Every structure is written in C-alpha cells, then in structure tokens.
Amino acid sequence: MLIRHPDAILPSEITPPEIYRERRRFMQGMGALAAGTALGTLDDAHAGIKLAGVRTSPYTLDEARTPFKDITTYNNFYEFGTGKSDPAENAGSLRTRPWTVAIEGEVRKPKTWDIDALLRLAPLEERVYRMRCVEGWSMVIPWVGFPLAELLRRVEPTGKARYVEFVSLNDPKQMPGQRSRVLDWPYVEGLRLDEAMHPLTLMTMGLYGEVLPNQNGAPIRLVVPWKYGFKSAKSIVKIRLVEKQPVSSWTRANPDEYGFYSNVNPQVDHPRWSQAKERRIGEFFKRDTLMFNGYANQVAQLYRGMDLKKYY
C-alpha cells in the first residue's frame, strides 16, 4: 500500500470539492476585507464578506441572474491560466491588501488611491448587467461598484485627454498564468474618454452584494457591458489618461481578431466563429446576440457615423 506524506495530499482530496472551494472563497474574502472592516466600510454582521450600504441602481435588468457558482467558476482570467476553471482554482495566491490604484497622465490632479478609500469614494450600487464573451457565451451578473466617471472627475482630465488606459497587476508570483507567454504582460485595455465617462461604465468592487472574488478581478475591475468581456480589465493597479489610442493586450497579440472598440456586434464575425448567436450559461439553446449587447438605446450615439465593421 502506498502511504503518502501529509504534505503531499491536497485539501481537495480530503474534503469534497464543493465544500473545499466554498471554504477557500470564504477565507479569501475574510483576508481581503480585514482592512476594510476595520475602517467601518463593510457590514460586520456578514463576517467581513457582505458589502455594506449597497443601493439598487436604475441601471439594471429584469432578467434571470446567472448563479454565483457559475460566475465564479467559469470565466476568463488568463493571469491565472487559460482554462475556464483555472481562475477559481489558482486565484487564491492573489493578495488584495495592501492595494493601490494610481491615476495619472493627462490629468490636473494625479493621485494614488488606496483600495479602501475607493470603497468610500462614491455610493456603491448593484447593477445587473448582461455580459457577453467573444467566444460566444454570456451571463447576467449583479455587479457592485460606482461609475468610473465619479473617479475621473476627481482627477480633472486635461484638454489633451482623449483615451483612458487601464493596466492590471503584473506579478507572476501571485498570478501563475503570467509565467506563460500567452500575452504580453501586464494586461492593458483602453476606452475612449467618452466611453469611460458613460454612466454605464462601472468600476466594480463586488458581486452578488459581496466583495469581488479573486477569480473575477479583485479587488477592483472595469465593467463595460456593451463590449466583449475582455475589454473589462481586472485587478487594476493603474489608470492613465492619454492623448493617443492605447494598444490593448489582445489587439497587440492578434489585431486581425481583436479590434480596439470590441463592441458586441452580431453583424461582425470573429474570423474563427460567428457572433450572431450566443449561449447564456445555464441554458441549452442559443439566443440571438443583441447589438451592443442590448444597450443600443444607451450607447449607440457614441458611434454615430462610424463604420462599425472597420472599427470593430
């Protein structure tokens, strides 16, 4: 009989996987929120996981929400691996305290914000958004955050600011996926300034009323619901306002497949698959993909007069 040393046995081999994963998620949340709880920014009655003072936003959907389990175990976060389950399995190594976000570039008041100060920057709102992946699957997610515009106004963009660049954490020790060359790290994304200032664009710090799980982009990420999911940069450490259009990570990796705008557009296929249909996680049949992911009434005016096949 083979006797294994205790150090060689994985916790997931002793405890049923569902209990093990839930316990790990709980402990991650406790550690990440210790500083915030001490400052009174969180609800102590929920053991440091529940975000306090979250209000309901008018920017929401009357659609069935994707279950928490699916949102947190099936996603893309290449910093932790390229498989859909890799982020949930590997993101426990990410330390979300201490954490700062620097805002710099074409601004009159550059500043570095502590993550707990950002929690108090503006009222937190729950917004139920459709999210569409370029690979063809979608979810309905109740994010918690505040409009990016609230942050940008405080740093006072100059007249030269035309774009906003987002830079994610680059730390291969914490993010094992960065040890591969699948992308040129750190992860970089960008928006036009008017897109960034749009009221739908969310700086997100929570999910289902709780602190944002590591695998979903903790402690702070971008959410732009009318664009494909890869535009919504995760684990952000720097925001730069710039005059020239930044080069996004996926555009740098493959410009023929991933354009700067990346608006959800069923009429523009990815070179390797159609974008006309999508599969909502939890459903068997596919559904039609909506222009701008169903947010055309809110955002179509941003692209009036543009050739959306050329600027894809």
- Over the chain (312 residues), the average pLDDT of each successive run of 10 is 36 36 44 39 42 92 96 97 98 97 98 97 97 97 98 98 98 98 97 98 97 97 98 98 98 95 96 95 97 98 97 95
Residue 185 lies in a domain: yes
Dihedral sign from CA coordinates of 295, 296, 298, 299: positive
Decide if 309 is inside a domain: no
CATH of the domain at 113: 3.90.420.10
Give residue 101's domain range.
11-303
User: Does a structural domain hold residue 312?
Assistant: no
Q: Which tokens sit at 307?
A: 């050739």
Nearest Cα to 148, choosing from 207, 99, 100, 101?
101
166: three-class secondary structure by DSSP: strand
pLDDT at 47: 34
Number of domains present in the structure of the chain: 1
**What residues are paired with 103 via a beta bridge?**
111, 239
Residue 144 forms part of a structural domain: yes
| β pairing state of 163-168 and 236-242 | antiparallel
Q: Is the Cα torsion angle 190, 193, 194, 198 positive or negative in sign?
A: positive
Classify residue 30: in a domain, yes or no: yes
Domain-embedded: residue 3: no
Give pLDDT, residue 41.
Answer: 37
The token pair at 312 is: 């894809």
- Is residue 311 in some structural domain? no
Per the domain annotation, does 5 fall within a domain?
no
**DSSP β-ladder status, 55-56 and 125-132:** parallel
Output the pTM of the full model: 0.85
pLDDT of residue 188: 98
